[in-house]
Chain A
Amino acid sequence: MALFVMWAGTARAQDETREQPPARTGFWGRTQAPSDTLGAYTDCLWGPVPARHDSVSTDLVERSRPAWETAVMVPYWIVGIPFRIVYLGLDQTVIGMDKLGLFGAAAEYPGLKGPFETYIMPVISIGDVEGFTLGLDVTRHDFLGPGNMLFLQGSRSTRKADELSGGTLFNLGKTWAVQIGAGTDEKNLTRYYGLGPESIDGDLSYYHRRTTWGGFEVDKDVGNKIGLELRTYFSKVEALEPVYEIHQSLGRVHGDEIPFGYPGQSNGLTMRLAMYRNNADQTGRPRSGGFQSLGVSLFEATDDSRLQYLTYHINLEKFFPLWHTDRTLALRAFVNRISNTGPVEIPFTRLVTFQRPDELRGFHSLRFYGMGSMALSAEYRWPIWVARGRDDMGVDAYLFSDIGQVYDRTAEISMDHLRFTGGAGLRLIDSERGFGARFEVGLSSEQTVVRLKFSQTFQYDKKGMLYGKNPTKVY
């Protein structure tokens, strides 16, 4: 009976308390209100909340883990040990790099901040013929003036595929620019399958290619999104016996059809004049517009070979917006053609081949050699990630198909010789450079080629001399 009365009495007492007008206390602020009134109410939806005192305070403690969870966690902990060790290493590395201020520097330009206001980007790659390659790219922005640039790169590989090159860019006013570049690279295992469109995959052989070059380029923006480029450079190309894979050397595999210029060397001056028109709305994720280029170059031997030839290049690209945001169809067609204007045969090392940016994805670079090449490319792109927006960092996925061939004579262009490839990839778009990298898998009837490249086949970056790109590879 006493219990019943107690309940009723307590209820009345609470009612009386609730009828009192609320006396608000100050909230936050140690200078204003005594801290023990924080959160205290003479009236609230639960009734009175008393001021802080021991009977209504507690030491907070973690909830204990239920027995069933402990049981299932034991295997998780055991299996997770190697993962935790790996992650601990990664975590501590990142923390260490952060304490060195490396990420703060990376925010301004890509790379880690080095001496003399340079930015350094380590380069690591593993390739089937190059082996393990380790290198560094060093960039100095605003070199000897705002907007100028100095770029140096060097790499060494475990299979003698080494490179040392560099270049500078000087802006002369708003419309003129000069690039100067030089370098040397060496690839012990350079692929050769034979000449012409009918070379076969089984005739893979290797030769040792060594190239040295140096020159300059003058760029002029003539307005209306049109640019002119005049490039002059000296180059020396050597084709030698390989050091590795001797059993598969060019001489052994193609003993009965040794191409002209093997072994041997060729050096000379190249002068190239090109015109570009770039009315694409963006470099990284273009939705509309296009990119066109037209070029002709003249090679004149500086040795006693009397070699002389002209190379023509036409490249047409167009971007079409599709159904949703940033879904784009990119189309490309290109033709390269060599015209021998001298009295001697052109060494195979100077012939046209499918190589960056004129690739036939799904085939290895250098799969075909000929006097000319042509190809059509179609690429459907769609965004899968954007950091902030279209103009920022992001990743696009793409499906592509390339159709093309090499030829010695125009009559060789035929359905029988056309090669079809297809594949898919991811494009990393960088807010600073417009394009970061691509990772793609290309399929053809012969092989599957996986590529990680820091250049794109569309809207190929023209600053070849600055970035120390081997000009004998291109055109």
Chain B
Amino acid sequence: MARTRPRSTDIIWLALLGTLGALLVAPAPSYAREPLRDEPVVWYAHDREPIPTPEFEEPGLVPYAVDSFVGRPFSRFWHPGRFFRWVGTGDRAQEAADINSLDEVVNSTWFTNRIGLTPLTPAELVEGPAHGRDLVTGPDRSTQWTIIGAKTAGVTPGFRIKDAKGDVWLLKFDPPSHPGMTIRSGVVTNLLFHAIGFSVPVDRLVQFSREDLVVGAGAMMRLPRVGKVPMTEANLDSILTATGSIFSGEYHALASRYLDGQPLGPFDDQGIREDDPNDTIRHQDRRELRALKVFAAWVNHFDTKMHNSLDMYVGNPGEGHIRHYLIDFASTLGSFGDALVKRFGYEYGFDTFPIMGRTLTFGLFEDTWVALERPEGLDEVGLFDVATFEPDKWKPDLPHSGMADMTARDGYWAAKILSAFTDEDLRLIVNQGHFQNPAAVDFLVETLAARRDKIVRYWFAKVPPLDFFTLTTAGIEFHDLAVERGYAATGNPRYRYRLSAVDKDRDRNDAGWTPWLETTTTVVPLFDETHRLAEDISRGGEDHPFLAADVQVDYGDGWSSSTIIYGAYVTGRLVALDR
């Protein structure tokens, strides 16, 4: 009997049957929670171990764009795990891997908790990464700034300068078509992202005159079709004249200080850096990079391609580690080089589904973003509004793997941070843009606040904003962020709670949950007047050493989903929080 080789259709059928079989035997998608441990909550990542200096690596924009537009979305679209998880939980990816048991991002070389955990002083807000470093006013002004290089290609010119302290700064100007727009946006967003917790360079708005600059010996500039040529004072004059960034006789520019350390190129939004042993989790599994979607949506930072990030090797060779920065925020708050593009923030650079939709509807329907207009009379502000902004529909220009994996908890975490910015905080930061028209400041503060509010309301509706549980003499106190920060639909929400003893795997003891008890305060009372654990709480024994407090809130539209806080009986630590 002749043997026949399997045909490709046979293989496909086999694969389909295998999938079906796997689904039949597989349990419903669920999250594997970390076991409870009576240990201090982790707040830091071990990611500063000394490593050899990695090589500089910068992939081209086109290969990255091809990957971002084609390979990665295609892979995500057909990924069965993402589909079944979405059906089962509403999220397409597993929860982030750089969070602690309280659902907070741990401090690392990627992110440092700032305004999300504690209010920042005015000085910390407005000085950002320059705070306490004698860099607040930008480059040192005790002598002329020496130009050591120039960038003349592209939309906006720029210089590399060295100041009296030997620090190197990049001076960037606005495109002549929009004087005062990109540099001010760049400074404002840089400070906002620093307050959020990202590592960013020191970007300051500087004002100077022609006499403040001198062309250094050996300074070179690149001319189109000519190549590198020595730069002259006459070149400097013509470049400065062409900038258009002149206000009241002074040049305005964004001064960005070169980062400390050795540049290693940008970090990718997917995968890990193979030559960094400290880089142990995929970047798309980092909550701060997933939630970048929320932060970027706030300021319409659509240009979140990997080339707007930078890895720096900090420390002596062989003794240092990598710190990860976000850089270049000039294309935010509605600005973008010399062109203002309405689509940015609303669609990917090439967005298959909207394109299909427009094709099949024969142009009968207009896109929402077409209505977007610049605020009248505010030359320093771009296309930035509230009316057309929808937090869940915002998109970067290039699809971002981290953002594509954002879960509801990631989104909530980001919204929680944004809700910590007060309107006064925003005004302090926007003022650092040195806008020439005070109305521009008012507009940006109001718009940022309104976009923040839209974002926060959206995510607080998805995840109940009961947070920051602490143990006090009154019991377990918590914060209702919706009420505290003005996002609750009602000023008198109701809360209910129940308690149980659980083991490390969160399994309850035989007594199970106590009945639901209602309250109008943000306290789960555990103690009686003698500060002893109330008698009606089911007690844990050796097998059930943790107390679980399940809390829900009702803002007038029914009880929310649960937020469960776990404490250890022995030490009294609050060890974990489940949403």
Q: A31-B260, A66-B29 are in contact. Are A46 and B470 (CB under 8 A)?
A: yes
Q: Is the CB of A397 within 8 A of B359?
A: yes
B123's closest neighbor in chain A, by CB? A24
Q: How far is the CA of A26 from the CA of B117 in the complex (A)?
A: 15
Residue of A nearest to B98 (CB): A60
B446 within 8 A of A: no
Given contacts A4-B533, A46-B117, A73-B80, contact A27 B341 (CB under 8 A): no
Do residues A384 and B44 form an inter-chain contact, with CB atoms below 8 A?
A: no
B residues in contact with A62, CB < 8 Å: 97, 280-282, 285
Is A34 interfacial (CB-CB < 8 Å)? no
Interface centre among B16, B43, B531 (most CB of A within 10 A): B43
Q: Contact at B572–A9, with CB atoms within 8 Å?
A: yes
Interface status of B85 (Cβ within 8 A of chain A): yes
Q: Which residue of chain A has its CB nearest to the CB of B135?
A: A29
Q: Which of A7, A71, A383 contacts B358 (CB 8 A)?
A: A383
Establish whether residues A69 and B63, one from each chain, have CB atoms under 8 Å apart when the complex forms: no
Distance (Å) between the CB of B113 and the closest chain A CB? 5
Q: A12-B473, A28-B112 are in contact. Are A327 and B78 (CB under 8 A)?
A: no
Q: Chain A 40-52 against B: per-residue CB contact (8 Å), 1 yes, 0 no?
A: 1101111101101
Q: Which of B66, B108, B365 has the most CB of A within 10 A?
A: B66
Count the A residues whose beta carbon is within 8 Å of the partner chain — how many?
Answer: 88
Partner pick for A7 among B67, B280, B533, CB 8 A cutoff: B533
A28 touching B194 in the complex, CB below 8 Å, given contacts A39-B44, A63-B95: yes
- Name the residue of chain B whose CB is nearest to the CB of A61: B280
Q: Is B39 an interface residue (CB 8 A)?
A: yes
B61 vs chain A, min Cβ distance (A): 8
A56 touches B44 (CB 8 A): yes
What is the distance, in angstroms, from A140's C-beta to the closest C-beta of chain B? 13
Smallest CB separation, A102 vs chain B (Å): 9
A27 and B129 within 8 A (CB): yes
Contact of B107 among A32, A39, A43 (CB under 8 A): A39
B113 contacts A39, C-beta separation under 8 Å: yes
B-contact 0/1 string along A1-26, CB 8 Å cutoff: 00111111111101100100010101
Q: Closest approach, in angstroms, between the C-beta of A7 and any C-beta of chain B? A: 5
Whole-angstrom distance between the alpha carbons of A4 and B526 in the complex? Answer: 10
Contact across chains for A75 and B16 when beta carbons are under 8 A apart: yes
Q: Which of B106, B132, B342, B527 contacts A389 (CB 8 A)?
A: B342
> A392's closest neighbor in chain B, by CB?
B339
Q: Across the interface, do A94 and B63 meet the contact criterion of CB distance under 8 Å?
A: yes
Tell me the smallest distance from the CB of B356 to a CB of chain A, in Å: 8
> Would you call B26 and A67 a contact (CB within 8 A)?
yes
B48 at the interface (CB under 8 A from A): yes
| A324, closest chain B residue (CB) | B366
Chain A, residues 84-95, CB within 8 Å of chain B (1/0): the string is 000100110011
Any B CB within 8 A of the CB of A224: no
Residues in B whose Cβ lies below 8 Å from that of A411 = none
Within 8 A of A (CB), among B178-216: 194, 199
Report how far A59 CA is from B42 CA in the complex, Å. 10
A55 at the interface (CB under 8 A from B): yes
- CB–CB A39/B280 < 8 A: no
Task: Report whether A58 and B78 are in contact in the complex, using a CB–CB cutoff of 8 Å.
Answer: no
Contact status B97-A61, CB under 8 Å: yes
The contact string, 1 if C-beta is below 8 Å from chain A, for chain B 277-318, is: 000111001000000000000000000000000000010000
Q: Are B350 and A45 in touch, CB under 8 angstroms? A: no
In the complex where A56-B44, A60-B281, A66-B29 touch, is A72 in contact with B81 (Cβ < 8 A)?
yes
Q: Is the CB of B129 within 8 A of A55?
A: no
Q: Contacts A57-B44, A67-B26, A98-B60 hold; do A22 and B118 have CB atoms under 8 A apart?
A: yes
Contact with A along B104-130 (1 / 0, CB 8 A): 101110001110011001001000010
Given the interface contacts A50-B43, A74-B22, does A39 sit within 8 Å of B133 by beta carbon? no
Q: Which residues of A contact B350 (CB under 8 A)?
A: 385
* B side interface size, CB within 8 A: 106
A45 x B46 contact (CB < 8 A): no
B32 is contacted by which of A6, A27, A63, A99 (Cβ under 8 Å)? A63
Taking the closest CB of chain B, its distance from the CB of A244, in whole angstroms, is: 34
Q: A415: which B residues are within 8 A, CB to CB?
A: none
CA distance A38 to B198 in the complex (A): 12
- B18 proximity list for chain A (CB < 8 A): 74-75, 78
Query: Does B370 belong to the interface (CB within 8 Å)?
Result: yes
Q: Which residues of B contact A43 (CB under 8 A)?
A: 118
Is B512 engaged at the interface, CB distance under 8 Å to the other chain?
no
Determine whether B6 belongs to the interface, using a CB cutoff of 8 Å to chain A.
no
A-B contact count (CB 8 A): 264
Measured between beta carbons, the chain B residues less than 8 angstroms from A83 are 74
Q: Which residues of A contact B70 (CB under 8 A)?
A: 87
Q: Cβ of A382 < 8 Å from any Cβ of B?
A: yes
Which residue of B has the minimal Cβ distance to A99? B60
Distance in Å: Cβ of B179 to nearest Cβ of chain A: 20
Q: Of residues 89 to 106 in B, which have CB atoms within 8 Å of A's CB atoms?
A: 94-95, 97-98, 102, 104, 106
Taking the closest CB of chain B, its distance from the CB of A321, in whole angstroms, is: 12
The answer to whether A275 has its CB under 8 Å from any CB of chain B is: no
**Chain A residues with CB below 8 A from B27, complex form:** 67-68
Q: Is A76's CB within 8 Å of the partner chain B?
A: yes
A344 interface residue (CB < 8 Å to B): no
Residue A255 lies at the interface, judged by CB distance under 8 Å to chain B: no
List of B residues within 8 angstroms of A174 by Cβ: none
Q: In whole angstroms, how far apart are the Cα atoms of A28 and B48 in the complex?
A: 15
Instruction: Tell me the bound Cα distance from A3 to B570 in angstroms.
Output: 6
Nearest-Cβ distance from residue A319 to partner chain B, whole angstroms = 15
Given A46-B104, A71-B22, A73-B81 in contact, is the A60-B572 Cβ separation under 8 Å?
no
* A33/B470 contact (C-beta < 8 A), A24-B121, A39-B44, A71-B26 known: no
In the complex, A90→B341 CA distance in Å?
A: 30
Q: Contact partner of B117 among A44, A64, A71, A395, CB < 8 A?
A: A44
A12 to B199, CA, bound (A): 36
Docked-complex contact B71 and A7, CB < 8 angstroms: no
B129 touches A29 (CB 8 A): yes
Task: Assess whether B366 is in contact with A41, with CB atoms less than 8 Å apart.
Answer: no
Which single residue of chain B is at the shortest CB-CB distance from A41? B118
A202 within 8 A of B: no
Whether, in the assembled complex, A445 has its beta carbon less than 8 Å from a beta carbon of chain B, the answer is no
A-chain residues with CB within 8 Å of residue B43 when the two chains form the complex: 39-40, 49-50, 52, 56-57
Closest chain B residue to A322, Cβ basis: B363
Closest 7 CB pairs between A and B? A382-B363, A10-B572, A39-B107, A68-B26, A71-B22, A98-B60, A8-B531
B: which residues have CB within 8 A of A? 11-12, 14-16, 18-19, 22-23, 25-30, 32, 39-48, 59-63, 66-67, 70-71, 74, 78-81, 84-85, 94-95, 97-98, 102, 104, 106-108, 112-114, 117-118, 121, 124, 129, 131-133, 194, 199, 225, 260, 280-282, 285, 314, 339, 341-343, 349-351, 355, 358-359, 362-366, 370, 467-468, 470-473, 479, 526-527, 531-533, 539, 567, 569-573
Supply 30 A–B pairs (Cβ within 8 Å), ascending by A. A3-B533, A6-B569, A10-B471, A27-B114, A28-B112, A28-B199, A38-B107, A41-B118, A44-B117, A45-B117, A45-B118, A57-B42, A58-B42, A60-B98, A60-B281, A63-B32, A69-B81, A72-B19, A72-B81, A73-B81, A75-B16, A75-B18, A80-B78, A94-B62, A98-B60, A103-B60, A325-B366, A385-B355, A389-B341, A389-B342
Listed in ascending order, the chain A residues whose CB lies under 8 Å from chain B are 3-12, 14-15, 18, 22, 24, 26-33, 35, 38-41, 43-47, 49-50, 52, 55-69, 71-76, 78-80, 83, 87, 90-91, 94-95, 97-99, 103, 117, 323-325, 327, 380, 382-389, 392, 395, 397, 399
